[in-house]
Structure 1
């Protein structure tokens, strides 16, 4: 009996230590170190221009602009975790081809941007990007986020509904709490998470267009999270990619699929 009691006490101590560690170190788990990437070369890239973005004096990402024509609007692109703005050049090209300026938003502690690598800092930077973009340029502003970036984009909409022309959420969660609860079933995730990052709640007052892209083979954020997010928003359109996983969705986006996305968002291509 004494041995059993000791084993139970040891298991309880381990459980409590693990729970405390999840609370204290969750930013490190959600925002792991970013692999080194090559900076996007500034200047001319065929049919577009790339420049580092310094809206308030500090580096905040990149601006990718159609070459030789005035952009018809702006798309803010929010990247996922274990990524940086440099990873999103291909996505920027999609928006530039239809005449939009793409701003590749960087979070503190990622890529070339200094600062604390925390969810709070990433969200603050994401919100600032919207206000900075609106102060710098005219025209409609759309938000596009992938994975963690989709969660950031949804939070940015909250309180800024009238400033956002449309939202594209790629491989999103419905809430971070729901995803974490699936993966950490033994722990009281609701009490451990600093914020639930609830995208459904963040979008509840938004009456603009929302497009959700879900991958049926997604093992990191299972597709039912994207389906629930789309189902609970009255204006959302859901695009499912049957053979795609979390990290290879881009290669499944055909010209026709992008055309559908732009149609649903009411993105107006440059004439």
Structure 2
């Protein structure tokens, strides 16, 4: 009887795996950023057409002598909530594109690794066509998995990568959260940043939060340790949690990170 129940449980998990994963992993938003919202945040739509857009940028036209950073945010909130990235990176001479995901921020489409990565590849292709080199990728939480997957699949030259509160693999996170479940049956997405970055040839900055209560910092450390030697550096933000880490930093950290990832461009 016990064996039968286990078989039934596995079958149910297998059939409902996608829905189960998506309920835990994605929190899309149907709210399109209005003109008033954009004006308040001093942003504007980027690569917009009638019923879609690829991301948000600063409403100002500050010079960007050091290139473009395309940033992929975490699974909660939208690109509109990530305005705090604009000032430090802009002050360091970068143009910042806050990429938006399908089904987030009122965009059409579907959630999932396949859809996010395909859309992200389009975003960086458009950014490269419009602004040229150098182009950098940055990720936050889930966005680290997206950025890593894009870097492993795109033909667009990526000059460096910044990963903030990342995981090593989605399976590793799932196993730590749900040790009693057969996670390979539950997960339909992989987001295997170790595999996706194993052949990346430029500098990778990994930033973990010491007291990360959502993605424990060991995932960031595991990712860092698995990356190829020589072109990586790890920062651990002391006392910081998953969402409050900006309160524990200042512009000096951003400058350290930028100085590291842009080394190849200035050699």
Give the structure-2-normalised TM-score. 0.86
**1:200-222 deviation per Cα after TM superposition (whole angstroms, max 9, x unaligned):** 11111112010000011112111
1:17 to 8, 12, 35: 12
Change over 3 Å in CA distance of 1:181–1:73 after alignment to 2: same
Partner of 2:219: 225
Secondary structure of 1:163's aligned partner: coil
Which has the higher mean CA deviation after the structures are superposed, 148-157 or 29-38?
Answer: 29-38
Preserved contact between residue 26 and residue 76 of structure 2 (Cα < 8 Å)? yes
Q: Does 1:107 align with 2:106?
A: no
Q: Does 1:249 align with 2:242?
A: no
CA shift, 1:243, in A, is 0.5
Q: CA RMSD in A?
A: 2.7
Distance in 1 (alpha carbons) for counterparts of 2:263 and 2:90: 12
Secondary structure of 2:153's aligned partner: coil
Extract unaligned runs of 5+ from structure 1.
none
Distance in 2 (alpha carbons) for counterparts of 1:36 and 1:193: 27
Preserved contact between residue 113 and residue 191 of structure 2 (Cα < 8 Å)? no
**1:114-141 deviation per Cα after TM superposition (whole angstroms, max 9, x unaligned):** 2223332112111111111111112300
Partner of 2:169: 175
Equivalences, count:
260
Extract unaligned runs of 5+ from structure 2.
none
Partner of 2:22: 27
Partner of 2:205: 211
**1:24-63 deviation per Cα after TM superposition (whole angstroms, max 9, x unaligned):** 4422321124496965755697xxx632112677311112
Distance in 2 (alpha carbons) for counterparts of 1:29 and 1:218: 18
Distance in 2 (alpha carbons) for counterparts of 1:69 and 1:8: 65
Task: Map 1:78-97; keep pairs closer than 5 Å.
Answer: 78-97=72-91
Give the structure-1-normalised TM-score. 0.85
